A and B are shown apart, each in its own frame.
Chain A
Amino acid sequence: MSQLVPGLGLARGMLLTLRRFFEPKATIRYPEEPPEGSPKFRGRLQLLYDEYGTLKCETCFQCAQACPIECIDMGGIDTKNRYHIHWGPPETYGERRDESALRRSGRPVPDPAYEHFGPIDLAPVEAALAEYDYDPKNLLPILEATQQAYGYLPVAAIKHISNMSGAWYAMIYGTASYYGHLRFEKKGDREQAAAVAASRPPESSYRSALQAALMGGAPVEDTTQPPAANKARGSSKVRGSSKVRGSSKVRGSSKGRGRPPRAN
């Protein structure tokens, strides 16, 4: 058609630009108008692979630099294949694994009371291994003997079995977690459970208090009191804090009054 009528192509082009003239524009005035991302965007971190299966990450640390809550911590391989590149000055490596840093970055915070990784007496494990010829084919009997000795399977014991028998830690862990009678923690302490139950007020006191709150009327006095130690601790805490606050207030005000500001 445009070959038949001369100038029709020109006219169509002109009409196209005229239509564009009135269309909404693609430009975003960035600092004034932040671009609208998807509302579900949460910024998940992910390392991407290219089509050859190689990591696309070049360890440039730009993500770690830009991260506002410093949750990205990374090491990488340099051009000579040495794993020694780190983001940030070396003296802060430990600092960035501090509890506060971990908490800020949302990673699991290690519990100092959790003693699974602690060293243990390895003699029973060694005995069990010797009995079964350090052979990973006899993994189940070795693990059962170990559990018999410790009452559960400590991490250090599994690591020792892995070292001595040559089986991978993950394999041993998988075997141990498959069987229901093998466990990684101590059996529950019945005595401790009983003590906790005894220190708690009986259920009837809660019920009467609830009754009083809902229906009105005086709460039924309960004979069992909370332990005295708890009460004392609570009161002392309150007193101590008020004391500190009061003294600091007095000190601050006296300081302010004693030294009038001097004009320079």
Chain B
Amino acid sequence: MTVVGRAWNRLSLPGKLFFTLAPLLLVTTIAVIAILVIFGQLIVDFLAANLPIVRFVVAVTAVLLMSVPTAFLIIYMEMKVIALMNLRLGPDRVGPYGSLLSVVHGLKVLMKEDFTPTGVDSIVFTLAPVVVYLASVMSLLVIPFAPGLFGQDLNVGLLYFFAVGGLSVVGLLMAGWSSFNKYSLLGGLRSAAQIISYEIPLTLSVVGVLILAGTMSLNQIVLDQRGSFLDWFAFKQPLGLLIFFIAATAEANRTPFDLTEADSEIVAGFATEYSGMRFGFFFFAEYVNVFIMSALIVSLFFGGWTAPFDWPWPVHIELNPGGLGIGLLILLAVAPVVGTLVLAAPFWVARSSMPAWQALIIGFVLLNLLIGLGLFALAFLGWEWVVGLFWFLGKTYGFVFTFVWMRGTLPRVRIDQLMGFAWKWLLPASLLNLFVTAGAVVVLGR
């Protein structure tokens, strides 16, 4: 055995990993740098020439990556909020206040056996969860999260939203049909019937907003509601909001309309034969749907990312660090030390039992906190999209909370009540809303 071989055998597992990965990383880095140096201009020109495509790919990736933590957050919220409403404590073991439990659920689903029963149409069976999940994620693309922060500002954004969102029905039918199980098929048909029935009042109730805004671009609709909260379409379209909220609840399969997978009554409806991550996709899609529906309600009726009152932003803060010259360098060198000492001093003076090193640690942590808060405040004040994102997410999670709250309170309706409500009440009400709005616009002007 050679010297190298003997040395290799003496290494522990982390050591072996390090000495394998470090050279690989080095080579890759050098290669990337070399490629960038040689072809850099070419790549940048190519990407700039195809900017819409690049933007689309980046947006899709970002939305796809965003959807999983969103689903985790909403699953955790559902567990915790319903538990608190039942006078229980809910998840409190994994992570702070049990907040990582949904991640554990995700890992569990990922590790389970991905079972394909005999006799299923395996291609359709595999594609169904993908279709359902992608339909949810793709409709996130047109939602304006903040000024300038959206996937695509389509001028038919709302139409695109309903078209792509309606694809999930296809996914459900695929799942029910391909499962080779009559109960799955029945569940799939039932959920398809429910979602198609509620699609009609959902779409019709939005038309009033479209007439008022004069555009289908979600971004433009949000911009139309800028100003105080009195400009929100919720006050111009209260009936539309009510119909949209009810229909969105049914569309997202939430209580009291969660007949598709009424977890306390039936097995799982269309998802009966699914296990492992394929089931997980259905599960995640449901919670992403909750987020999407909340986001759409907020964008259409509650002003999206606009603040409910006149917000003094963006504040233009004139900072020119370069103007200090050599002083900037000195400031960078001196400021952390001085800041740490200044912040540590009160603790060291006030508490005689505290050794100096502890006071210094506290001072350092405090300094970091202050700098972080200061930078955050600067971003909050100076960048429009940070404030906008805060308002948007705040309103959206308010509605997510409402959905969870409803699940903690309301009982489930019967299937005939569900259908009767959609066709006998919601559809006439949405038509009434549409005609009244149209008449008002004709008479009074927009």
Contact of B86 among A10, A14, A20, A29 (CB under 8 A): A20
> Which residues in window 377-422 of B have CB below 8 A to A?
405-406, 408-410
- Interface positions, chain A 1-32, Cβ under 8 Å from B, are 10, 13-14, 16-18, 20-21, 23, 25-27, 29
Contacts of A21 in B (CB 8 A): 81, 84-85
Q: Which residues of A contact B92 (CB under 8 A)?
A: 29
Q: Does B89 contact A (CB under 8 A)?
A: yes
CB of B87 within 8 A of CB of A17, answer: no
- A23 touching B87, Cβ below 8 Å: yes
Task: Give Cα A16–Cα B409 distance, bound, in whole angstroms.
Answer: 8
| A29 x B89 contact (CB < 8 A) | yes
Does B6 reach chain A (CB closer than 8 Å)? no
How far, in whole Å, are A83 and B408 apart by their CA atoms in the complex?
55
Asked if B88 is at the interface of the complex by the 8 Å CB criterion, the answer is: yes
In the complex, per-residue mask of B73-116: 1 if CB is within 8 Å of any chain A CB, else 0: 00000000100111111001000000000000000000000000
By the criterion CB–CB under 8 Å, are A27 and B88 in contact? yes
Contact with A along B110-124 (1 / 0, CB 8 A): 000000000000000
Give every chain B residue within 8 A of A23 (Cβ-Cβ).
87
- Contact code string A54-80 (vs B, CB < 8 Å = 1, else 0): 000000000000000000000000000
Query: Which one of B81, B87, B405, B410 contacts A25 once the chains associate, using CB atoms below 8 Å?
Result: B87
Given contacts A10-B410, A13-B410, contact A18 B405 (CB under 8 A): yes
A27 touches B406 (CB 8 A): no
Query: In the complex, are the beta carbons of B406 and A14 less than 8 A apart?
Result: yes
Within 40-95 of B, Cβ neighbours of A (below 8 Å) are at 81, 84-89, 92
Contact yes or no, A20 B85, CB < 8 A: yes
Contact (Cβ within 8 A) A27 B410 = no
A-side interface size class? 10 to 19
Complex: A68 Cα to B86 Cα, angstroms: 36
User: In whole angstroms, how far apart are the Cα atoms of A20 and B405 in the complex?
Assistant: 11
A17 contact from B88, B89, B409, Cβ within 8 A: B409
CB-nearest residue of chain A to B402: A14
CA distance A25 to B406 in the complex (A): 20
Specify which chain B residues have a CB less than 8 angstroms from the CB of A20 in the assembled complex: 84-87
Contact partners of A29 in chain B: CB under 8 A: 89, 92
CB distance from A18 to the nearest CB of B (A): 7
Collect the chain B residues with CB atoms within 8 Å of residue A17's CB.
85, 405, 408-409
Specify which chain A residues have a CB less than 8 angstroms from the CB of B405 in the assembled complex.
Answer: 14, 17-18
Residues of B within 8 A of A14 (CB): 405-406, 409
Q: How far is the CA of A17 from the CA of B406 in the complex (A)?
A: 9
CB-nearest residue of chain B to A16: B409
Q: How many B residues touch the partner, as a band? A: 10 to 19
CB proximity of B262 to chain A, nearest CB, Å: 19
Complex: chain A residue closest to B407, CB-CB: A17
Complex Cα distance A214/B436, Å? 108
Enumerate chain B residues within 8 angstroms of A10, measured Cβ to Cβ: 409-410
Nearest chain-B residue to A13 (Cβ)? Answer: B409
Give the distance in Å from the alpha carbon of A21 to the alpha carbon of B407 in the complex. 13
Q: Which residues of A contact B87 (CB under 8 A)?
A: 20, 23, 25-27
**Cα distance A27–B410 when bound, in Å?**
23
Nearest CB in chain A to that of B82: its residue? A17
Q: Tell me whether B89 and A27 are in contact (CB under 8 A).
A: yes
Distance between B255 CB and nearest chain A CB, rounded to angstroms: 12
A14 to B87, CA, bound (A): 15
CA distance A23 to B89 in the complex (A): 11
The distance from the CB of B82 to the nearest CB of chain A, in whole angstroms, is: 9
Chain A residues 68 to 105 lying within 8 A of chain B, measured CB to CB, are none
Interface set, chain A 21-45, CB cutoff 8 A to B: 21, 23, 25-27, 29
Distance between Cα atoms of A60 and B226 in the complex (Å): 74
In Å, the complex CA distance between A16 and B87 comes to 12
Shortest CB distance A181–B (Å): 70
Q: Give min CB distance, B156 to chain A, whole Å.
A: 35
For A18, the chain B residues whose CB sits under 8 A away are 85, 405
Q: Is the CB of A25 within 8 A of B408?
A: no
Could you tell me the distance between the alpha carbons of A14 and B406 in the complex, rounded to whole angstroms? 7
Separation in Å of the A35 CB from the closest CB of chain B? Answer: 14
Closest to A20 in B: B85
Task: Provide the bound-state CA to CA distance between A27 and B85, in Å.
Answer: 12
Distance of A21 Cα from B85 Cα, bound (Å): 4
A171–B145 CA distance with the chains assembled, in angstroms: 94
With most chain B CB atoms within 10 A of its CB, the pick from A10, A13, A17, A26 is: A17
Nearest opposing residue in chain A for B242, CB measure: A7
Interface centre among A13, A21, A25, A29, by most chain B C-beta atoms within 10 angstroms, is: A21
Task: List residues of chain A with CB within 8 A of the CB of B408.
Answer: 17
Q: Is the CB of A26 within 8 A of B85?
A: no
What residues of chain B lie closer than 8 Å to A26, measured between beta carbons? 87-88
Contact check, A25 vs B409: say whether CB atoms are below 8 A apart: no
Q: For residue A18, which residue of chain B has the nearest CB?
A: B405
B176 CB, min distance to chain A CBs, angstroms: 31
Distance (whole angstroms) from the CB of A205 to the closest CB of chain B: 58
CB distance from B307 to the nearest CB of A (A): 26
**How many angstroms from the CA of A21 to the CA of B77 in the assembled complex?**
13
Instruction: State the CA gap A10–B408 with chains docked (Å).
Output: 12
Chain A residues whose C-beta falls within 8 Å of the C-beta of B410 in the assembled complex: 10, 13
- List 10 other contacts, CB 8 Å, given A18-B405, A29-B89: A10-B409, A13-B410, A17-B405, A17-B408, A18-B85, A21-B84, A21-B85, A25-B89, A27-B87, A29-B92
**23 residue pairs bridging A and B, Cβ less than 8 Å apart:** A10-B409, A13-B410, A14-B405, A16-B409, A17-B405, A17-B408, A18-B85, A18-B405, A20-B84, A20-B85, A20-B87, A21-B81, A21-B85, A23-B87, A25-B87, A25-B88, A25-B89, A26-B87, A26-B88, A27-B87, A27-B88, A27-B89, A29-B92
Q: A residues bordering B, Cβ < 8 Å?
A: 10, 13-14, 16-18, 20-21, 23, 25-27, 29
